[in-house]
Amino acid sequence: MISIAILGFGNIGSGVADVLANNEEKISKIIGDEIRIKYVLDKRDLSDTPYADRAVTDIDVIVNDPDVTVVCEMMGGTQPAYDYSIALLKAGKSVVTSNKEVVARMGDLLLATAREHGVHYLYEASVGGGIPILHALDDSLKSCAISRIDGILNGTTNYILTRMHDCNASFESALSEARKLGYAEANPTADISGADACRKIMILAAVAWGKLVSAEDVPCEGITAITSEDSTFAVSCGGALKLIASAVKTASGIMMTVSPAVVLADNPLYSAKGVFNAVKVRAGDLGDVMFYGMGAGKLPTASAVVSDIIAAINRSDSNGYTFFLPNDESLLSPEETPDAFCLLVQADADILYERIPSLALLNSKDGVHSILCEDMSKKTIYEAFDGLAVLKCLRAIV
Ligand code: HSE
């Protein structure tokens, strides 16, 4: 019998108990043993749940119980989640989590502690809900030189943008629906400000390239300032507006950014709608590969947690999805890094071509042109269009 504990019995924590119960037979076959939830730690009263007899409020009960080998931290926030996780790892217990905030801020310290004590710190559910993207980056894509990651990494904002685009819903009503469906954070500011997507791209970049940057160093813009004109502009370019988190590795460093972007219809990310998340990875010899699935929600996220519980029990070769090459790579400014951009410019089309011969004209109406510029930095484009009326400039995902 393998004893585990769950810290935080909210949406995801209770989902972990459900996924373990729903798949009991299969899991027992894989690990050759049974898993029992020995403790559930929560501040809330659990007396009306089937786990009332296992409810505890003191973390030391779990830390000091040698029976418990794996603990699921589903508390959210950095404290006390960080202190509890460190204490558990030091006590020789593996920790699995869906807590992107603690991984994005302190993942390197948690991983180092896990390594030092010969246990696992696993966090697949912290990025993309149920999508197995960290496992893929850390394992299946080991042989590939990853040069770019673009992701729709927040289900709430993708749900809001989809409802606004497809059903003309207002921002407020779409957000309220996302909250009712259990997708949004307790405080949805982290969703709509882009902070949640920012944490997730930081984790992806750290697993891909070994550098865990600070959130303060990643330019991050959410969807609060989006207007219906931005959405119409995206459609005029032949695309849709989505909140995209990107990480790009160049010869001179890593560029990371989160912002609304025009995703052109040819790009597979275009089809990720509603609460779905999608992560497109440019993976060296493999080329582009995309991971798509439920990025939020109780059971999808809990399924990733349970896979990590199984991995913690079965794996002996690695301590976690490693930030495997600690490095000093510089962080590049998105303004100065060549990328693709969609612009709305009021000017004579001939003048536009004179200034940037490689541009693609996507749409024209009454002397106002929607254009696409690729492999150029925003700074270079603005310098080339100096003196022209640039009405909009959004990142493009081509
Ligand atoms: N609030 C998050 C989202 C939950 O909407 O994607 C999953 O991390």
CB of 154 sitting under 6 A from ligand 1: yes
* Tens-digit pLDDT profile for residues 227-251: 888 989 999 999 999 999 999 999 9
Which structural domain, as residue segments, surrounds residue 87?
Answer: 2-130+299-326
The answer for residues whose C-beta is within 8 angstroms of residue 183's C-beta and 6 or more apart is: 155, 156, 159, 275, 296, 297
Q: Which of 30-34, 64-68, 212-216, 326-330 has the lowest mean pLDDT?
A: 326-330
- Would 331 be classed as within a structural domain? no
The answer to whether residues 290 and 142 belong to one domain is yes
In the DSSP assignment, the letter for residue 41 is E
| Cα 68 to Cα 84: distance, rounded to the nearest angstrom | 14
- Would 333 be classed as within a structural domain? no
Considering 294, 317, 351, which residue would you say is the last residue of a domain?
Answer: 294
* Tens-digit pLDDT profile for residues 310-369: 999 997 666 667 765 556 778 999 999 999 999 999 999 999 999 999 999 999 999 999
The answer to whether residues 160 and 305 belong to one domain is no
CB of 260 sitting under 6 A from ligand 1: no
CB of 300 sitting under 6 A from ligand 1: no
The answer to whether residues 95 and 231 belong to one domain is no
State which of 101, 156, 199, 242 you would mutate to test the pocket of ligand 1, scoring each by most atoms of that ligand within 8 A of its C-beta: 156
- Would 42 be classed as within a structural domain? yes
The answer to whether residues 303 and 358 belong to one domain is no
- Would 97 be classed as within a structural domain? yes
pTM for the model: 0.96
Catalytic residue annotation: 200
CB of 184 sitting under 6 A from ligand 1: yes
The answer to whether residues 86 and 138 belong to one domain is no
Pairing of strands 331-332, 55-56: unpaired
Q: Which of 90, 93, 150 is nearest to 116 (CA)?
A: 90
The answer to whether residues 234 and 99 belong to one domain is no
Nearest CA to ligand 1 atom 8: 296
> Which atom, in ligand 1's list, is nearest to the CA of 190?
1
